[in-house]
Amino acid sequence: MQIGWYPGHMKKARELINDLIKNIDLVVEILDARLPQSSANPVLQELRGRRPFIRVLNKEDLADPAATKSWKNYFEQEEGVKALPLTARNRSAAASLQKLCRKLVPKRGKPGRPLRVMIVGIPNVGKSTLINTLAGKKIARVGDKPAITTCHQQIDLRNGILLSDTPGLLWPNLEDQNGAQRLAVSGAIGENAYDQVATALFALNELGRHYPQRLMDRYKLTDPGDDPAELLNIIGSKRGCLVAGGEVDTRRAAELLLRELRGGKLGRISLETPPASQQPDA
């Protein structure tokens, strides 16, 4: 099944961001630390111009620490870009983000000259959660499904920083289907746009290649094997995802696997690493 998900409001989101960014000093893009490349939006490179750019590696508590460190180094090779791993609900981490914003735009953030920051990100990467943490109260809607934020709002943090919250923005053509599958694994894409069993099989293939021990520990396996379909059946059988006659309900097994992976039940896992040829020397 080809994944292609671009709700109508997202076209409007791009138009809105293109208009609003004219009065913005700094852009903050929220990424999923487990898949920074797939959750990054190439459109922003075009829209931000030469403005300072912070790439927040959110959900770093769910990601492989070594991979996150590599991504931070990779992103910061680009002029004007800083990367900051954090967990959106952590107040001290949010304070670190504000400090970095001020450092990158030192001439603003004073009375009469607020530091104007645009927060952007694809759906379900934790953008609204981070905004609520920055504000110290619930301002932006938060949910466990994508496309919660559908309109623009401006938030005065009352400390010299003015935030512009934008709708979750996803590019219209998911040409890289591996990247699209990673987004589906993370929950960034609406459930109606992908086949859960196919996505679970993709996830099992990736986990078997990079984190086989995590699979064995979580599902009490002696060997994860090399057949994702067979492994999904084993997991479904062990977890009672059965239908009449004792056969495995593969859809329920797929839902269980994806839910546990997204929730960190298999440990800290990253689904991609920076291109080897473009990583800085150690």
Domain 195-262 has CATH 3.40.47.40: no
Domain ranges of the chain: 8-173, 195-262
- The Cα 122–Cα 46 span in angstroms is 16
Strand order in the sheet with 115-120: 81-85, 53-58, 26-32, 115-120, 161-165, 153-156
Q: What is the pLDDT of residue 150?
A: 47
Average pLDDT, the chain: 86
pLDDT at position 167 = 65
Between 2-6, 25-29, 184-188, the lowest mean confidence (pLDDT) is in: 2-6
Task: Pick the closest to residue 88 from 64, 61, 116 (CA basis).
Answer: 61
- Residues 8-59 have pLDDT tens digits of 556 666 777 788 888 999 999 999 999 999 998 877 777 888 899 999 999 9
Contact between 27 and 44 (Cβ < 8 Å): yes
Do 8-173 and 195-262 share a fold? no
Q: Which region among 170-179, 223-232, 234-243, 262-271 has the lowest average model confidence (pLDDT)?
A: 170-179
Q: How far are the Cα atoms of 237, 238, 252, 260, 281 from residue 242, in angstroms, in the given order? A: 7, 10, 8, 18, 50
Tokens coding 213: 């021990």
Please, what sign has the CA dihedral across residues 118, 124, 126, 129? Answer: positive
Those residues with Cβ within 8 angstroms of residue 257's Cβ, 6 or more apart along the chain or in another chain: 200, 203, 204, 232, 235
pLDDT at 122: 81
pLDDT of residue 49: 83
Looking at residue 182, what is its pLDDT?
A: 93
CATH assignment, 8-173: 3.40.50.300
**Average of per-residue pLDDT across 176-195:** 87
In contact, 259 and 218? CB cutoff 8 Å:
no
pLDDT band at 276 (very low <50, low <70, confident <90, very high): confident
- pTM exceeds 0.85: yes
Top pLDDT among 106 and 111 is at 106
CB 5 within 8 A of CB 174: yes
